[in-house]
Every structure is written in structure tokens, then in C-alpha cells.
């Protein structure tokens, strides 16, 4: 007869990470949809930047959203793979941003408030990666 495994209690913060990830992905998808149905007026710089995006850029964004969501779900399920998924999403995000900054005039399009939002987003993402790593180091992720 096997001994039942004790239920592990999930830290509240993993649910917060999942909620953040769902809201972020939803906001991103909604924003793109609003832009492409022309419900949001764009500055000439923003219109030029968006017109320069290729299908590969959109695929990278979709992969980024997917990695973040899978990482958050793995974190809720207390799986070690969460760390790798979340770090991969951060790395892809940095790569996409670097490409856009160096080749497409992304910073001009972003403006000061957008740059602040981008910085806050990176700080939150790095914090989530560090939190997942800490959970793994403490042996809470299997």
C-alpha cells in the first residue's frame, strides 16, 4: 500500500505571478488588436515602427507571451521547468528589444513614459525569475 503524498501548499506569490502573466498577455493581445483595427490613433513614428514589423517579429512576440504563460503555469504547479521558461522569456524579450532598438527606432517610438513602462516591466520580469529561482533553490519546485 502506498503512502499518500502530502499536499504542498502553494505560496500566494505564485498566484500573483500567474495573474500578472495573464493580465500582461491579455493586455498585449488587446493592445495589438486595438491598433490593428485602428481603434487607437498612432503617431507617425509609431505607425512607421509597426509597419516595419515582420511576421517573424509577430512570431517572436507570440513565443514570448507563450513562454511567460507556460512559465507562470509551471510555477503554479511548482515545477522546476518554470525557471527555465521564465528565464528564456526574459532572454527573448531582451533580444527582441535590442533588435528593435538598434534597427527600427524603437526608442523614438516609445517616448519617455513608454521607456519607464518598459523598465518597470523588465524589473518585474527579473523579480519573477529571481523568485522562481529562489523557490527552486529552496527545494519547493520539483
Residue 63 maps to a domain? yes
- Cα(5)–Cα(44) distance, rounded to whole angstroms? 59
- Cα(55)–Cα(116) distance, rounded to whole angstroms? 27
* 19-78 pLDDT tens trace: 999 999 999 999 989 988 989 888 888 888 888 889 999 999 999 999 999 999 999 999
Residue 37 maps to a domain? yes
Residue 21: alpha-carbon gap to chain centroid:
7
Of 124, 113, 128, 18, whose CA–CA distance to 72 is shortest? Answer: 18
Residue 99 maps to a domain? yes
- Cα(77)–Cα(124) distance, rounded to whole angstroms? 20
Residue 142 maps to a domain? no
% of residues, the chain, pLDDT over 70: 94
Residue 72 maps to a domain? yes
Per the structure, the count of domains in the chain is 1
Residue 133 maps to a domain? yes
Full domain range(s) for residue 105: 12-137
Query: What's the pTM value of the predicted model, to 2 decimals?
Result: 0.87
Residue 79 maps to a domain? yes
Confidence of residue 7 (pLDDT cuts 50, 70, 90): low
Residue 2 maps to a domain? no
Amino acid at each position: 500500500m502506498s503512502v499518500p503524498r502530502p499536499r504542498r501548499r502553494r505560496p500566494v506569490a505564485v498566484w500573483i505571478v500567474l495573474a500578472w502573466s495573464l493580465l500582461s498577455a491579455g493586455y498585449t493581445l488587446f493592445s495589438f488588436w486595438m491598433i490593428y483595427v485602428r481603434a487607437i490613433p498612432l503617431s507617425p513614428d509609431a505607425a512607421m515602427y509597426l509597419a516595419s514589423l515582420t511576421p517573424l517579429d509577430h512570431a517572436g512576440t507570440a513565443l514570448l507571451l507563450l513562454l511567460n504563460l507556460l512559465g507562470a503555469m509551471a510555477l503554479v504547479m511548482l515545477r522546476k521547468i518554470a525557471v527555465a521558461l521564465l528565464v528564456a522569456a526574459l532572454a527573448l524579450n531582451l533580444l527582441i528589444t535590442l533588435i528593435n532598438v538598434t534597427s527600427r527606432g524603437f526608442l523614438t517610438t516609445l517616448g519617455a513614459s513608454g521607456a519607464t513602462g518598459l523598465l518597470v516591466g523588465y524589473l518585474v520580469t527579473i523579480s519573477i525569475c529571481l523568485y522562481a529561482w529562489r523557490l527552486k533553490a529552496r527545494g519547493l519546485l520539483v
